[in-house]
Amino acid sequence: MARDTVLGIDIGSTTIKAASLIQGQSGYAAQMLAIEPIGGGSIPVENQFEEAERSEQEKRAERRVDTLAALEALVKHNKIRKGTRCALSLGGDAVAPRTFNFPGKFSPDELERAVDLEAVNELPFPKDQALLDFQEFDNAADDRTIGVYVGVRREIIDDLYEMVRSVGLEPVIVDTDGLALANAFLQAGGGEPPQKETLVVNIGHRTTNLAVITPSGHAFIRDIPDGGASLTRACAEYLQVDLAQAETIKAGPQIDEPNLAEHIEQIQPYARAILESGMQELLNQIRDSIGFFITQHLFSTVEEAWITGGAANFPGLPEYLGEIFHVPTFGWNVLSDVNLQFVPEGSDPARTDAIGPRFAVALGLAMRYDVV
């Protein structure tokens, strides 16, 4: 691994994705990609009665043990050298991303005080237990101060750093999943903002990251506590298989199994019914999130959408979302972008189509090496 790179590590609910990059005159190239299962790769059976009997402390403790074991396996299996710098991210209920849209213009000190006061009322946890960061957007309206701030519990950051350092890696930055997603989309497109208000949706197993990116380069983010798990349950119901089999069918080929065509053929006859059953609640929450941003006068509409994440290879998903949202909608494989090519020996188009959508956040983190 080159000395000047940062390893992007995306810790999801069922897997850890890691990526490192090299940058040449024509753009980025993926130097290393790896997926490591959390908890032995088993898909959690979400039995509400069993879960209700377990305390949050028990769940967190089990999750920490499984995540640490997966990090250790990631380092070992990929021969990652000790001291490698890494960029991490947090999402879901671990972070609280918020937007601000204040009347008037503020000095830096005034804006910091205004964001602090806003955070007291808006954060879902006590502000004195949180780390808070904010960014004001350039090119906002003359009479407004617009930007984003993110709060995260201090104990979560401390614990994440402790785990990563215990396996020999050195964390240098912590981002949010949503901002890493937006960064990947912008950088893979050559660093230029889109010409239209663009929605980017990263559908994970339990959490979906949204980023609306404007022609000004501003990114408005939100996490939704729903994701591909709902689609997995619908697959299990329609195909009459258990959840583990349904997850394999939904997600498609693994990193070393590039048979995407066979996957599509297997699920195609049931795809529309599964989408209608498994995606309705998530789509409602995406619609509500976009509506909230619009009511805050952050932008007026969304003109196109791009879908990525572990569920992105599900047949017909972009077309279905396009019908629901009435905008052109496309599947986004970050690895196939002209400015980001997967070059390790043995790579081929089928493989990048199969695995690419899972790496958007990890690659967005790896692209942060220019600021550390």
**Which CATH number covers residue 239?**
3.30.420.40
**Strand partners for 15:** 37
For residue 162, tell me if it sits in a domain: yes
**What is the identity of the amino acid at 83?**
G
Res 347: pLDDT:
52
Res 354: pLDDT:
75
Q: What are the structure tokens assigned to 273, written together?
A: 């019914």
For residue 18, tell me if it sits in a domain: yes
Residue numbers of the chain with a pLDDT score lower than 50: 1-3, 45, 48-49, 255-260, 338, 346, 371-372
CA quadruple 30, 36, 37, 38: dihedral positive or negative? Answer: negative
Res 288: pLDDT:
94
For residue 1, tell me if it sits in a domain: no
Domain count, the chain: 1
For residue 263, tell me if it sits in a domain: yes
Q: What are the structure tokens assigned to 336, written together?
A: 């196939």
Edge-to-edge strand order for the sheet containing 130-136?
95-103, 144-153, 130-136
Question: Residue 368 contacts by C-beta under 8 Å, 6 or more apart in sequence?
Answer: 6, 8, 87, 173, 175, 180, 183
Question: Residue 42 contacts by C-beta under 8 Å, 6 or more apart in sequence?
Answer: 244
For residue 189, tell me if it sits in a domain: yes
Question: Residue 143 contacts by C-beta under 8 Å, 6 or more apart in sequence?
Answer: 103, 104, 105
Cα 146 to chain centroid distance, Å, stands at 23
Q: What are the structure tokens assigned to 120, written together?
A: 């007291």
Res 132: pLDDT:
92
For residue 187, tell me if it sits in a domain: yes
Res 338: pLDDT:
44
For residue 2, tell me if it sits in a domain: no
**Eight-state DSSP code of residue 152:** E
- Of 304, 291, 224, 238, nearest to 268 by C-alpha is 238
Range of the domain at 240: 7-371
The rounded distance, in Å, linking the Cα atoms of 317 and 320 is 5
Residue with tokens 């709060």: 151
For residue 240, tell me if it sits in a domain: yes
